[in-house]
Structure 1
Amino acid sequence: MIIGKGVLTGPHVFIADHNHEYRNPDVYIYKQGCRAGKDDRVLIDDGTWLGTNVVVVGNVHIGKQCVIGANSVVTKDIPDYCVAAGSPAKVLKRYNFESKEWERFR
């Protein structure tokens, strides 16, 4: 896990770059080990804010200066300068440096 400079989190944020293995339903899950690839990692770039109760799971990259809304579950990459929310989290808007305005995604 790599967390950049100036990253803020609300309370109760959970970040995991691995998960329990579950290949054989005849074996207890805790006996099946963990699943994590050699290059799996969570990367949260500089200046990002994770709201209260955000969950970040898997091999994901959250870009710089993002806002992740409260109670969101991040399972895929979020580009730089975006606001994302939901379960799973989706980009709601992104800052456009040419127009100097936030643009909504549909």
Structure 2
Amino acid sequence: MSFDDLAKNLWPFLLKYLPLESLARVLTPAITQFQLNQPRIWGNPARFINKNTINCCNILINTRCGTVTIEPDVLVGHNVSLLTGTHNYKKRGMSRIKNVPAESHRDIVVETGVWLASGVTVIGPARIGAHAVISANSLFFGNVESGWIYSGTPVVPIRKINFED
């Protein structure tokens, strides 16, 4: 019996003998945990280049108008948004909504060892230098230097990091 056949036969059985609330109570924690560790991609998934070795927690990646690259050893907090998308603000109504340039080179590169704290929003085009830290709830666009702490809306440099190793 294939997995699909098993699923087709098992589902009616579960619904018949298990109350829906009980089934939801059992499955919800596992589904929620799985979803938290999956990047949500809006746009072409082929434009998301993930070389990262660390799980991303509830990250939104918009690839509508550029490529998003995450290098190895990047720490990503909860509810981080990496946005390449844009719209033509000179249009109105549905014309504005539908007018999304496919190739506008609004790429985002997150270099090795970067820490994007929870709530960070990055608007492309942007490059975050290696081992930089962007503090919680910061808004970032443009380029930042390697090895610095940045904070704010928009971000400003706070201080150079004196690494211990």
Q: Could you list the runs of 5+ residues in structure 1 that have no partner in the other structure?
A: 101-106
Identity of paired residues, percent?
Answer: 26
Equivalent position of 2:85 in the other structure:
18
Q: Could you list the runs of 5+ residues in structure 2 that have no partner in the other structure?
A: 1-67
Q: Measured at CA, do residues 26 and 47 of structure 1 come closer, stay the same or move farther in structure 2, by a change above 3 Å?
A: closer
Deviates more, 1:16-25 or 1:63-72: 16-25
Question: Is 1:54 matched up with 2:106?
Answer: no
The TM-score normalised by the length of structure 2 is: 0.53
CA RMSD of aligned residues (A): 2.1
Equivalent position of 2:133 in the other structure:
67
Moved over 4 A (4+): none
Structure showing greater relative contact order (alpha-carbon pairs closer than 8 Å, 6 or more residues apart): 1
> Which AA in structure 1 matches 2:114?
T
Counterpart Cα distance in 2 of 1:9 and 1:87: 18
The total of aligned residue pairs comes to 97
Deviation at 1:27, TM superposition (A): 5.4
Larger radius of gyration: 2
SS of equivalent residue, structure 2 residue 82: strand
Counterpart of 2:147 (choices 69, 76, 81) is 81
SS of equivalent residue, structure 1 residue 43: strand
Q: Identify, as 1 or 2, the structure richer in strand.
A: 1
